[in-house]
A and B are shown apart, each in its own frame.
Chain A
Amino acid sequence: MTDISTASSSVTPDWTVQTPHRAKRERAEKRFRAYGIVAISIAVAFLASMLLTIFVGGMGAFTSSKIGLDITFNEEVIDPSGARDVSTFRDANYRPLISDALTEIFPEVTGRSEKRDLYKLVSSGAVYQLENMVTENPDLIGTTQRVWLTAGTDANLYLAGKVDQDVDESLRQLSSVQTGRIETLKSGGHIKTALNKSFFTNGDSREPEQAGILGALLGSFFSLLVCFVISFPLGVLTAVYLEEFARKNRLTDFIEVNINNLAAVPSIVFGLLGLAIFLNVFNLPRSTPLVGGMVLALMTLPTIIIASRAALRAVPPSVREAAIGLGASKVQTTFHHTVPLAMPGMLTGTIIGMAQALGETAPLLMIGMVAFIVDVPSSVVDTATSLPVQIFLWADNPEIGFREMTSAAIMVLLVFLVLMNLLAVLLRKKLERRW
């Protein structure tokens, strides 16, 4: 016995020797690390290719081509009576002004259909641009100005290099004559590329060059506002009651199981519920952010409740004991100590729930927020769409011009999702710093 113990304690084992067992173990470790790197690389590659596709496809939507024309603000066309009344400006037909300016550059165009093709080079929305100019500054009447008008859908595509010249002319959006005219304009300095402001200031439109994201953005904003106002107080109070006040019995167990089940219910079911109850029973206005927000609130509630309960459970019981030992009532203990300590977690849960709601499409389809709505909503009871629904609508549109609009809208949605998640992180950091 003594021999063995002295031998083992005096001889230092050689840890540098490469035994088969060691080699096998090290191989296994290396292999596992390789699997991990491969998995992450595949995920990153997918993400990168997705973002790249969206960026490449969508960047074009942020710029648009403008055609500069010398418009003569003919008094006879705009305001024949000379009264300078705003309503007259609104009723006036500005189309001839643009036609005249174009005819001046291309005097050779005469035939009816020829002319129609020529006028198509300028967007049909350009008349509103002129109308606004005149309304803002009636002194323009009678003068001639170089005005940069939005190019028509096809001209825009051609100038962005999206018209394939190899396709047979009859199948192309623009005939060779038309492209020739565009080239003429270009060489004459009548074409420039500018920031597509209307993308950020307009609602939806049938014409891609006039369609904008603002309507959908505000629709989403109002929906989320309603969703937050309903789901945050309800969710937090439910969580506080269940976690701090309710006795643990069969009823609360039943409620808990059902809340967890609700979190797993497909969102379209909530949409059907909203359709059946909010629209058909309560007769709330269809297609509005009010109803959309209410439906999204139903969907977000379980997420908020579960996150808030977890946050409350994470507050150490010693804090509650300390307060109760001092003679604080249960409500005082909860609202002076437990809830403030759980607030960062509750807010994180809420923002994650809201981010989910921001990206939700299916329930909004059910309550009619999928309609084609040109007007930008100004309150929660105006008809509206939302960002994801707008993406869905544009992706569904056969016009080529909407392709890049779809990608651009996805970019806007992604930016907002990232901003919301950033807000969640910042809020948590800020609130947690209070020791």
Chain B
Amino acid sequence: MRKLTGTSMTESSQETERDLIMTARNVDVFYGSKQAIKNVDLDIPKGSITALIGPSGCGKSTFLRCLNRMNDRIDICKVSGDIRYAGQDIYAPKVDPVALRARIGMVFQKPNPFPKSIFDNVAYGPKIHGLSSSKSEMADRVETALKQAGLFDEVSDRLDEPGTSLSGGQQQRLCIARAIAVEPDVILMDEPCSALDPIATAVVEELMESMRDDYTIAIVTHSMQQAARISQKTAFFHLGELIEYGDTGQIFTNPKETRTQSYISGRIG
């Protein structure tokens, strides 16, 4: 048994450390002199969907990007604190962020397929990591990833067409297939449905549900309904602080913090 987060411990307390794939302790993030994340503690349990919600500019995307060191690309961004993946400090000096990102994949807000064929989009990750030794193995891997992303039936006869020729929802599922093809443990999703129409959103949400058995998902979303529909855990961020973290049902029905209450009832944000 272990104490998990400051604000909510009772519901999560049954989970042992082994079930937590990622843990964050005392995380501060600065953009230059501006503090974007203030002393956040958060755990991501394995095989679940964790939703990060909060008003715009609350730091939830910034926090998500700390989890696979995407923020390294920004010169002025400084991350401190302790973030662990499977018990290893991912910000330790000798950690290779490139290898880390192969284990912790990412799907972005705007569908961003490469301007290459559908096949090449999915095959790119396995290719750079040397995961497939032959062409047929690569074809199998691409097919598996596309099937897992629920896209294979729609595109099986046009794998050599450009990925950018697909519809928005298909493009986003292609991006998910691309992330899956590298066989990561965790997939970070930064508002994956904000550029999609409601029908495409529903398809992607369904896909996320089905992926839960094989992958751990952390998702930033602006839609509280989406968080309520798909996630098991919800973290509410406000002005760079983690206000409340707990089981999704509890956050939406019985929030402990007044600020959470105000946000989910639409009074702030």
Are A327's CB and B114's CB within 8 A? no
Are A324's CB and B101's CB within 8 A? yes
Q: Is A322 an interface residue (CB 8 A)?
A: yes
Are B179's CB and A326's CB within 8 A? yes
Give the distance in Å from the alpha carbon of A313 to the alpha carbon of B12 in the complex.
Answer: 46
Q: Which residue of A lies closest to B106 (CB)?
A: A325
Q: Is B78 an interface residue (CB 8 A)?
A: no
Given A248-B75, A325-B70, A325-B105: A332 and B114 interface contact (C-beta under 8 Å): no
Are A326's CB and B115's CB within 8 A? no
* Residues of the B chain whose Cβ atoms lie less than 8 Å from the Cβ of A336: 124, 128
Interface residues of A in 165-205 (CB under 8 A from B): none
Are B175's CB and A328's CB within 8 A? no
Are A327's CB and B115's CB within 8 A? no
Are B110's CB and A327's CB within 8 A? no
Q: Is A434 an interface residue (CB 8 A)?
A: yes
* Residues of the A chain whose Cβ atoms lie less than 8 Å from the Cβ of B70: 321, 324-325
Q: Which residue of B lies closest to A337 (CB)?
A: B114
Within 8 Å by CB of A322, from B114, B128, B165, B182, lies B114
Given A336-B124, A435-B162, A435-B165: A328 and B98 interface contact (C-beta under 8 Å): yes
Interface SS of chain A: helix, strand, loop or mixed?
helix
Are A322's CB and B102's CB within 8 A? no
Give the distance in Å from the alpha carbon of A324 to the alpha carbon of B99 in the complex.
Answer: 11
Give the distance in Å from the alpha carbon of A320 to the alpha carbon of B70 in the complex.
Answer: 11
Of the four ranges (under 10, 10 to 19, 20 to 34, 35 or more), the interface on chain A belongs to: 20 to 34
Within 8 Å by CB of A327, from B98, B107, B108, B164, lies B98
The number of residues on chain B lying at the interface, defined by a beta carbon within 8 Å of a beta carbon of chain A, is 30
Q: 1/0 per residue B230-266: CB within 8 Å of A? A: 0000000000000000000000000000000000000
Q: Is A329 an interface residue (CB 8 A)?
A: yes
Q: 1/0 per residue B100-121: CB within 8 Å of A? A: 1110011110101111100000
* Residues of the B chain whose Cβ atoms lie less than 8 Å from the Cβ of A435: 115-116, 162, 164-165
Given A318-B110, A435-B165: A325 and B115 interface contact (C-beta under 8 Å): no
Give the distance in Å from the alpha carbon of A327 to the alpha carbon of B112 in the complex.
Answer: 15
* Residues of the B chain whose Cβ atoms lie less than 8 Å from the Cβ of A341: 115
Q: Which residue of A lies closest to B102 (CB)?
A: A327
* Residues of the B chain whose Cβ atoms lie less than 8 Å from the Cβ of A323: 114, 124
* Residues of the B chain whose Cβ atoms lie less than 8 Å from the Cβ of A116: none
* Residues of the B chain whose Cβ atoms lie less than 8 Å from the Cβ of A30: none
Are A326's CB and B124's CB within 8 A? yes
- Given A325-B108, A435-B162, 20 more pairs with CB closer than 8 A: A247-B75, A318-B112, A319-B112, A319-B114, A321-B70, A321-B108, A322-B108, A324-B70, A325-B101, A325-B179, A326-B128, A326-B182, A327-B99, A327-B105, A327-B128, A329-B128, A332-B128, A336-B124, A434-B115, A435-B115
Going nearest first, the 10 A-B pairs with the smallest beta carbon separation are A327-B102, A325-B106, A318-B112, A327-B101, A435-B162, A326-B125, A435-B115, A322-B112, A329-B98, A328-B128
